[in-house]
Structure 1
Amino acid sequence: MRHLIVGTRQSSLALTQTNWVCSQLAEFDPDVKIETEHIVTRGDRILNVTLSKVGGKGLFVKEIEQALFDKKIDFAVHSMKDMPAVIPPGLVIAAVPEREDPRDVLVSRDGRNFTELPKGAKIGTSSLRRSAQLQAARPDLEIVPLRGNIDTRLRKLEEDGLDAIVLAAAGLSRMGWLNRATERLSVDICIPAVGQGALAIQCREDDQEVIDFLAQMDHPVTRLEVTAERAFLDRMNGGCQVPIGGYAEQMDDWLSLRGFVGLPDGSVLLKEFAEGKQPRELGIQVAEKLIEKGAREILDMFGEEQNS
């Protein structure tokens, strides 16, 4: 195996995730040398507006994928929830490691859980998916846009006078900060983003040696769950401009998948659930159920806004 270069975003969380992957790969072959290449993405550069207003898919991956095409790096470590539903031709997700808890967590300033927050409490989040579901459950809350790395958002909880913020449990866990969480939000309240808690290890499709090396980290159950979620996202053609989420879970030989799409203010929230054994078919089935309920009209509405 040759010397390898891994591409990653330069945030603390991205580097922590990448270092963990490299340490796991070193256990498979301690003679492999891996160098880390820090890459700044468009999503990292634009921090003064919410993600939904930046528009487009792959805000945190395109520059890294281009580095793969240009052969500046040999593989990349992404957060799966940042990955568009369709991978560019010539690239492949060689491994999906076992994922962390996919749920969202509430971090409140005074230790109150979600139901205990006072009327009019200010909740910080940059996610339309989170804000729509939180407002559907608690219309009295005030949602405050919040961008930045995980450590920045934790700091702004105090500096910006927020009552609470909502983050991914996986990010806090990987940083060793899960003790900061006040409450893990039930998926009945907040369905996670597609692929949340999972990593995607990506490389070139024609680099079989690297594929075989990386594939040792693949976790079959996580890949099945993520495949169902991503098939759902693909059929819905959803992005960061519309509130959408999907959560799959394997129980014995069966997969369950719940998905939702809604309006940003939480006034409309369409949810569906199904079970099956074939992940792609399951994802499409849940998407079709939502489309029958009127999800396509919501998605088309936001598509027109983004193209106007």
Structure 2
Amino acid sequence: PEGLHLSVICEREDPTDALVLSPRVMASKRADKTGIDALAEGAVVGTSSLRRSCQLLSMRPDLKIEQLRGNLDTRLRRLNEGFFDAIVLASAGLKRLAVEDAAIHALAVSVSLPAIGQGVVGIECRVADETINGLLLPLNHDVTSICVRAERAFLKKLSGGCQVPIAAHACFTTAGTVKLEGLVGSVDGVNIIRGHAEGTVGTEEVIGMSLADELLKAGAKEILDEVYGNG
């Protein structure tokens, strides 16, 4: 909104997705397996995220994806009541609420690429309020802020929102450069277009836009047109 801005980006918590297994699965012979390997053929997985579901289906097209809504407690309760074999949640949310359980399996970024800004807390305030901006400044985490700028530039170029199968995650390499991974996927997971871009600090928004352009040329435009109903 006019007059407001994203004043600071706090240090990122765990950006991964987490697969939480049901008591039924944990009691089965498959409980000694990790992640999606613990799920039997045709298992029911709860998530309302197209980003998560398309990546799961790309690896396991046999899975049945069902809608899951509500706060964290509601989602965990429905899992424990037997509505699902597993659900997918943000690892950061589980950690912030100190939820720990052997049934929680973090999914590597290579398996489930996170949402833009996942695990990050941003603080918005009035642009003209110098006092508040000054007080908030120590909370800003430079590394996270740079990474999030790359991710947001990627999303903006794709004209994406929160209910679109788009994912991106940026990090610093050992060489001090910024590396961004991104993907656009079809809702059924059949077509996943994934790529990466890398550049120096200060060019993070260029990195995000260039990766978006690369994916659009590789077929992401057709996928997004179908999702938006423009095809």
Q: TM-score, normalised by structure 1?
A: 0.68
SS of alignment partner, residue 229 of structure 2 = helix
CA distance in 2, matches of 1:171, 1:125: 15
Corresponding residue number in structure 1 for 2:131: 209
SS of alignment partner, residue 95 of structure 1 = strand
Instruction: State whether structure 2 residue 140 is matched by structure 1 residue 218.
Output: yes
Instruction: State whether structure 2 residue 214 is matched by structure 1 residue 289.
Output: yes
Structure 1 residues 229, 148: closer, same or farther in 2, change over 3 A? Answer: same
Corresponding residue number in structure 2 for 1:262: 185
C-alpha contact 1:242 1:263 (8 A) present in aligned 2: no
Corresponding residue number in structure 1 for 2:88: 166
Corresponding residue number in structure 1 for 2:48: 126
SS of alignment partner, residue 179 of structure 1 = coil
What does the per-residue CA deviation read over 1:32-76, in whole Å, with 9 as the maximum and x for residues that have no partner? xxxxxxxxxxxxxxxxxxxxxxxxxxxxxxxxxxxxxxxxxxxxx
Corresponding residue number in structure 2 for 1:280: 205
Corresponding residue number in structure 1 for 2:120: 198
CA distance in 2, matches of 1:181, 1:228: 33
Structure 1 residues 284, 134: closer, same or farther in 2, change over 3 A? Answer: same
Corresponding residue number in structure 1 for 2:17: 104
CA distance in 2, matches of 1:168, 1:187: 12
Deviation at 1:180, TM superposition (A): 5.6
Structure 1 residues 197, 178: closer, same or farther in 2, change over 3 A? Answer: farther
SS of alignment partner, residue 170 of structure 1 = helix
List gaps (5 residues or longer) in structure 1: 1-87
Deviation at 1:124, TM superposition (A): 0.4
What does 1:1-308 correspond to in 2, within 5 Å? 88-109=1-22, 110-111=25-26, 112=31, 113-179=35-101, 181-252=103-174, 253-277=176-200, 278-304=203-229
Identity %: 45
Deviation at 1:181, TM superposition (A): 4.9
List gaps (5 residues or longer) in structure 2: none
Larger RCO (alpha carbons 8 Å, 6+ apart): 2
C-alpha contact 2:49 2:163 (8 A) present in aligned 1: no
Deviation at 1:99, TM superposition (A): 0.9
CA distance in 2, matches of 1:181, 1:229: 30
Q: TM-score, normalised by structure 2?
A: 0.90
Structure 1 residues 276, 105: closer, same or farther in 2, change over 3 A? Answer: same
Aligned amino acid, residue 157 of structure 1: L
CA distance in 2, matches of 1:298, 1:134: 17
C-alpha contact 1:248 1:258 (8 A) present in aligned 2: yes
Deviation at 1:296, TM superposition (A): 1.3
C-alpha contact 2:20 2:89 (8 A) present in aligned 1: yes
Deviation at 1:137, TM superposition (A): 0.7
Deviating beyond 4 angstroms after TM superposition, the runs of 4 or more aligned structure 1 residues are none
Deviation at 1:178, TM superposition (A): 3.6
Deviation at 1:297, TM superposition (A): 1.7
CA RMSD of the aligned region, Å? 1.5
SS of alignment partner, residue 294 of structure 1 = helix
